[in-house]
Amino acid sequence: MADQKQILICEDEKPLSHALELKLQSEGFATVVAANGQEALDHLKDGHFDLMLLDLMMPTVDGFQVLQKMKDLPNQPVVFVLSNLSQHEDEERVMALGAKKFFIKSDTPLSVIVEEAKKI
């Protein structure tokens, strides 16, 4: 399907990334999973994504660094940050770096994330 939206899931917690992948695919999205920030950056350089779901605390390269490094890429997806960091400063920082939405993982059902993804 040419009109299928591409979503990059950048999440190091395998159960959560798998749950997101299944839920999004069942809603008709194409998904690619990156287990750390460096993998996400590699995928972003090689492909086109409409949306990226980005965790902040990850091995190798964290979500803050991914947002920073994305500024140099030509095709930038919309970014939703999913994090357990609930500090207001963290939310302000990622929004300043270009994220569109900030979700606290423990407080946000997957269905809410999927509904927001559909709006993109």
CATH number of the domain at 63, please.
3.40.50.2300
| pLDDT value at residue 77 | 96
Q: How many structural domains compose the chain? A: 1
Mean pLDDT of the chain: 93
Residue 17 lies in a domain: yes
- Average pLDDT on 16-42 reads 96
Residue 65 lies in a domain: yes
pTM across the whole model: 0.94
17: containing domain = 6-115
Residue 45 lies in a domain: yes
Helix (H, G, I), strand (E, B) or coil at 26: helix
Q: Which residues contact 39 (CB under 8 A, 6 or more apart)?
A: 10, 60
With 80 as the cut, is the pLDDT of residue 1 above it?
no
Residue 1 lies in a domain: no
| Structure tokens that stand for 50 in this block | 């409409």
